[in-house]
Structure 1
Amino acid sequence: MSDTVSTTLEDGIAVILLDNPPVNALGHNLREPLFRALEAAKANDEVKAIVIACAGRTFIAGADISEFGKPPKAPSLPDLIGLLESIDKPTVAAIHGTALGGGLELALGCHYRIAERSAKIGLPEVTLGLIPGAGGTVRLPRLVGPEAALGIIVSGKPIGMDEAFSLGAVDRIAEGDLKSEAISFAREKLAEEAPHHHIRERSDKLQIDDAAFETAIEQVARKARGLTAPVKAAESVRNAVTMEFGAALAREREIFLERVASEESAAQRHLFFATREAAKVRGVGRDIEARPVARIGVIGAGTMGGGIAMAFANGGLPVTLLEMNDEALARGLHQIDRNYAGSVKRGSISEDEKTARLARIQGTTSYDALAGCDLVIEAVFEKMDVKRQVFGALDKVLKPGAILATNTSYLDVNEIAAVTSRPQDVVGLHFFSPAHIMKLLEIVRGDRTAPDVLATALALARRIGKVPVVVGVCNGFVGNRMLAARREQNEALLLEGATPAQVDKVFTQFGWPMGPFQMADLSGLDIAWNNRKSLGQTAPIADALCEAGHFGQKSGRGFYLYEDGARIPIPDPDVQALIERKAAELGVERRSIDAEEIIERTLYPMINEGARILEEGIATRASDIDVVWVNGYGFPLAKGGPMFWAERFGPARIVERLEHWHGRTGNALFEPAPLLRQLALTGGGFASLA
């Protein structure tokens, strides 16, 4: 007996119950007493069969991630599973909730698995930059076949019991009390005369179509987008087919330990914890209850508003979508229908699910139709006078306690709130386009936003599958403010000697999905042009392109050429000539620019702006900034976010290079933030500020 493991004997069946709240993580405090309990059950002649079950809301939901990278404590999980496989009495894993990662690997060490119908199983290690390290890639292929195992392991996504049972990953689905049925199942198996084979002794499922399997592995490599873990996981599944069991197991463990020590896995584990931390908001404790939300209102049925309406409908919430006239409303609803039709065509939702989601969205042209909504979010034109007009109208029609939200990307939420009689009910909900797909939701806390409004926003974000980060009010909040710093030098680099293709290549080699000039062409150069004109700003090259009607992909020309409607960017000699002409007009001497300079002049100012954001309290922690940039702006997952990436070489290096460029250019962009200077002097890092 221990605090976390207890054994009861029920007529010859030993029930070993694990109880390590909240999710029965396989830390040393669980492994060591479980090892002793299994040894005792193995040696006890009164024990004829063993059931491993868990207390609480779930089976084992994985390893204790906080142990990774620390000196190992015996017994290891492979040792534990090795002991389990040495027991010749029938062993049964009784699964409820989730059996993930090491939890599933332990279950695979048993002879049999029984699960509640609502349970899920999976091997999510790739999402942490790892591969399963205790036999998952070697045992699962023997149980369900290499192709099915490959799909489960490289996706990292859990599967439900219908699929698990049809594949053979579980032997029975319990319809009644799990523990009772697991004991009965063990007794049945005990009565069988046939020997009880562990998975390691099976090889019948390892017959594969070599060519098809190799094609599947090639697809994994293509989809990995610069991440190594999925490719290594696929390699380990192949080893399960081509190597003897023990050799495949040993190689899997080697790869796992290499991955644990990798920067890529450190970055992904950082983001795992950072996402959890981001949900902890100052002044919003567990005692603060979220307001009930039964109906959402969305104002504006354009690209952004339509996407927001879909995001809530996808989360099961009814939505009232408001437009100013019938024509605009019909156009918006038609686009939503087309988006859902595309999802059906891709196989991501069924036709029935499309119908259900569409039925949750009702259109209107009257503000009065919003009266019953519990939260209304506007997605109208990004102009303060337009936003104020909308909030004034909402203030008149919404019921007391309803939340008024703005999707503004830049504007002052406090100024918007000031036009209402209830600034405590106003919050920023900054979605990212396309809103029904992008994970990030910046929740902007106004000076007077009530704690329960923030609690409601956080709960809603989770309900619709978003990653929420609470930020303060400033121009551009966290993401767009840093984006402005990142792209400020883009045109200067072109004028001084770089090409759009060269800059974009540096970004894609760094791990971004695309570079800034290709991204500008994709989003449309006219959008930023109109914004610049309204702010009295200029950009010599982009302005000249827009004046010529070259708006990017949609017009076939921008920073690149796009032939015959294709999306493949082709370097444009006319753009190069334009750059050289503008450089001559401005008296800029052109020279060779290397990749390191491009990184220093684009990404270092971004880190610098991140430091200012922390100084001002706009972001609570550096890790919140990382969550924003990975989930909303395509910062490479393998690098863990801009602030985590900056820790690799430290604030002193960044300050030194910023000062270099400040001296060269005199541009205030490169003036190191006081916080950055302080960290450089003390040798501290961003993580130490939390």
Structure 2
Amino acid sequence: MDQQAGPLRQERHGAVLVLVIDAPPVNALGHALRAALWQAIEVAEADATVGAVLIRAAGRTFPAGADISEFGQPPRAPQLPDLCDRIEACPKPVLAAIHGTALGGGLELALAAHARIARADAMLGLPEVTLGILPGAGGTQRVPRLIGAEQALRLMLTGKPVPAAEALALGLLDGVVEDGLEVAALRLAEGLVGRRLTATRDRREGMRDGAAYQAAVAAARLAQAGARLPAGARIVDCVEAAQLLPIEQGMVFERAAFADLVATPEAAGLRHAFFAERAAARFPEAKAEARPVAQLGVIGAAGSDLALLALQAGCPVVLVEPNRPQLVEALERIAAAQETAVQEGRLTPAARDADWERLTPALGAAALADSDLVLVADAGLLAEAAEAAPPGAVLALTGRGALPDSPRASDMIGLRLVGGRLAELAVGPQTAPEAVATARAVARRLGLLCLRAAAPGGIAGRVMLAGRAAVTHLLAQGEAPARVAGALRGFGLPQLAPEAAAEAPETGASAGRIIAQVLSAMANEGARLLERGIAQRASDIDFALVAGLGFPRWQGGPMFWADQRGLLILRRDLAEWGQEAPEIWAMAPLIADLAAQGGHFADHAAQAGSGQKDA
């Protein structure tokens, strides 16, 4: 009889108890799910009619990881490491059936089972290092026991997932099926009834060659020497401990390292950046339906880079430029970029030829008649594009500035590349929700991250410009370029650092004060963008800087920096420095208001987005 209890559904198939994880959207291992799994394992162990347990997941994926929102909160039993130990200690065989992505805590849960089978398109990985932490539920101890130090360290230090076939070859999986995972897993579980399998903690396949294991640890430790973030070195320590310590002590060592890393400022910054990226994906136009885009138009030779991205994404592209020499130059730029990609092995000659076949150059805007979205790279050609593009086609302006008044204002949106990886979608007051959804879908198809802004947009550039203005002022006031450059590079902002000799004089502002002045100017400009409604939330500003202009991810962003430091301190500093250079540090009213309430930028973001639906 099937039973549904919160995030876990139980099914009986003869002697096999099937535990179906059902906690959408990604089956994250939150407290309720952990408690339900623990109870189910207890019941299975006590029930003499249960001979094996199968853990699988409903929806699109096996648990994609731990519930990151619980990090930094008081722990609630059962914690994930304890749950994994409880599953591993079950005297009856436990099988994990994996589809989608088994990442972080999800993979650690599967590793605690006695056997693992996956669908061929599944991906497995341990990406905790990207959050400044390490696998904390036995991953650093169980994985090297199965696959050795070299491959375990590769998984943990890069954070990159591997496909199921590679995971099988490495030894993380016991089987892979092309389809029919549920049936195959149940058949395997039935075959395990009555058998006693070796627990992962007791396996040693990856430790047979002790010298190779130590050599891999030594090489990884050398590679981590001088690293800015501490997580990598602690991962190496834990993998070494897996060989040197009994499993119980190794687990304690791992948990202590995990707790240390979670509390570091770098991990806090990386968590903030992670959630900022998630929040940026939430658009007010979430329910709008994107219009189909079968052909992309680009008007203006300056749009050749976007045309190239579209070709790489498999889109048919019409490139219009009325000036013949400029059109030829644009085509040559595209061809040169393709040839470079071929020489570097990033593109095959056949793929290059296929891309070129999808490109149609034209001198007249009439060629845009069948385009569903037109990227307008030359504002002077907007009128021609608007006349030639069919009704309902989106007109996406790639230049800076406000969206112009036009009879087609509902079809118009700004789509600006920031740093080659981020697309800022600047939405005008008349832009139709369907146009926003369409532009977003196209940007994602081109492999770009998306940020919604109110027109005229320019979030990342405005905030970075404020930082550069602060740097220029410091230099004009006699601050040594080497001291300013050293402070900025130390923080992770070499793009703001002036050119300077290596040595800095003994006198001058401290590195901390330099960083405070530059970051305060950036946070102050960010506050103005929030006041004007150009940015939806403070975390969007941080996301724009991190994703678009290389602000160090582990520092979170200028708004996060200001919140961590405290808005009372920011208000005090701006009041002082604003007298010296009001054009840079004159306080945004929002900062004074939030500081007076003991608030944070994050509080304002929550209020601003409270009436919006998640995408």
Question: Which residue of structure 1 lines up, in the alignment, with residue 488 of structure 2?
Answer: 507
Q: TM-score when scaled to structure 2? A: 0.90
Change (3 A) 1:248 1:500: same
Structure 1's unaligned 5+ residue stretches are 381-386, 518-558, 561-569, 577-589
Q: What is the CA distance between 1:500 and its match in structure 2?
A: 3.0
Task: Please point out which of 384, 396, 409 is paired with 1:405.
Answer: 396
- Maintained 8 Å contact 1:154/1:220: no
Rounded Cα–Cα distance in structure 1 between residues aligned with 2:542 and 2:293:
29
Separation of aligned partners in 2, 1:346 and 1:217: 30
How many residue pairs end up in the alignment?
A: 599
CA distance in 1, matches of 2:56, 2:308: 40
Alignment pair present for 1:429 and 2:410: no
Equivalent residue, structure 2, for 1:125: 128
* Alpha carbons 1:368, 1:397 under 8 Å: kept: yes
Query: How far did residue 41 of structure 1 move?
Result: 1.3
Displacement of 1:502: 2.5
Larger deviation: 232-241 or 629-638? 232-241
Q: CA deviation at 1:400?
A: 0.7
1:422 to 1:233, Cα distance in 2 relative to 1, 3 A: same
TM-aligned CA distance change 1:481 to 1:348, over 3 Å: same
Q: Deviations over 1:224-245 (max 9, x none)?
A: 6x33333433332333334332
Residue 613 of structure 1: SS of its match in structure 2?
helix
C-alpha contact (below 8 Å) 1:506/1:598 kept by paired residues: yes
Determine the structure 2 residue equivalent to 1:296.
Answer: 296
Does residue 215 (structure 1) correspond to residue 206 (structure 2)? The answer is no
Q: Judge conservation of contact 1:23–1:58 (CA < 8 Å) in 2.
A: yes
Q: Deviations over 1:428-463 (max 9, x none)?
A: 011024x3xx2x211111222111111222233333
Q: Distance in 2 between matches of 1:600 and 1:333?
A: 46
Q: For 1:559-574, what aligned pairs fall within 5 Å after superposition? A: 559=499
What is the one-letter code of the residue matched to 1:644?
Answer: F
Q: Which amino acid aligns with 1:263?
A: P
Shift of 1:571: 6.6
SS state at 1:488 partner: helix
Counterpart among 4, 7, 20 of residue 7 in structure 2: 4
Does 1:169 find its partner at 2:172?
A: yes
Q: Secondary structure at 2:551's aligned position in 1?
A: coil
Q: Provide the residue aligned with 1:137 in structure 2.
A: 140
Aligned to 2:471: 490
User: Which residue identity does 1:509 align to in structure 2?
Assistant: G
Q: 1:175 to 1:596 in 2, by over 3 A?
A: closer
Equivalent residue for 1:642? Answer: 558
Tell me how far 1:173 sits from its aligned partner. Answer: 1.3
- Residue from 536, 552, 559 that aligns with 1:620: 536
Q: 2:299–2:385: 8 Å Cα contact kept in structure 1?
A: no
- SS of 2:218's equivalent in the other structure is helix
Equivalent residue, structure 1, for 2:203: 202
Quote the RMSD (CA, aligned, Å). Answer: 2.7
Q: Which residue of structure 2 aligns with residue 543 of structure 1? A: none
Q: Does 1:229 align with 2:231?
A: yes
Q: CA deviation at 1:597?
A: 3.8
Partners in 2 of 1:332 and 1:572 — Cα distance?
A: 44
Q: CA–CA distance in 2 between the matches of 1:337 and 1:120?
A: 35
Task: Report if the CA contact (8 A) 1:221-1:230 is conserved.
Answer: no
The answer to whether the aligner puts 1:369 opposite 2:330 as a matched pair is no
Asked if 2 retains the 8 angstrom alpha-carbon contact of 1:503 and 1:515, the reply is no
Q: Which amino acid aligns with 1:504?
A: A
In the other structure, the counterpart of 2:257 is 255
Distance 1:357 1:60, change over 3 A: farther
CA distance 1:175–1:143, change in 2 (3 Å): same
Percent sequence identity over matched residues? 40
Deviation at 1:672, TM superposition (A): 0.8
Structure 2 counterpart of 1:411, one-letter code: G
For residue 249 of structure 1, what is the amino acid of its counterpart?
Answer: M
Question: Residues 341 and 239 from structure 1, CA distance in 2 versus in 1: closer, same or farther, beyond 3 angstroms?
Answer: farther
Q: Which amino acid aligns with 1:155?
A: T
For 1:22, the aligned partner's letter is: P
**Deviation of the 1:342 alpha carbon:** 4.6
Give the SS at the match of 2:63. coil
The structural deviation recorded for 1:292 is 1.2
Q: Which moved more, 1:165-174 or 1:395-404?
A: 165-174
Aligned match for 2:109, one of 91, 106, 113: 106
What pairs up with 1:11-410 in 2 under 5 angstroms?
11-190=14-193, 196-206=197-207, 207=209, 208=212, 210-211=214-215, 213-219=217-223, 226-282=228-284, 284-286=285-287, 288-302=288-302, 305-325=303-323, 327-343=325-341, 356-380=354-378, 387=379, 389-408=380-399, 410=400
Q: Partners of 1:348 and 1:153 in 2: how far apart?
A: 26
Distance 2:350 2:132 in 1: 36
Structure 1 residues 153 and 326: alpha-carbon distance in aligned structure 2, compared to 1, 3 A threshold: farther
Secondary structure at 1:442's aligned position in 2? strand
| Residues 338-367 of structure 1 deviation map (CA, whole Å, 9 limit, x = unaligned) | 444555565656666555555544443332
Q: Letter of the aligned partner of 2:484 in structure 1? A: V
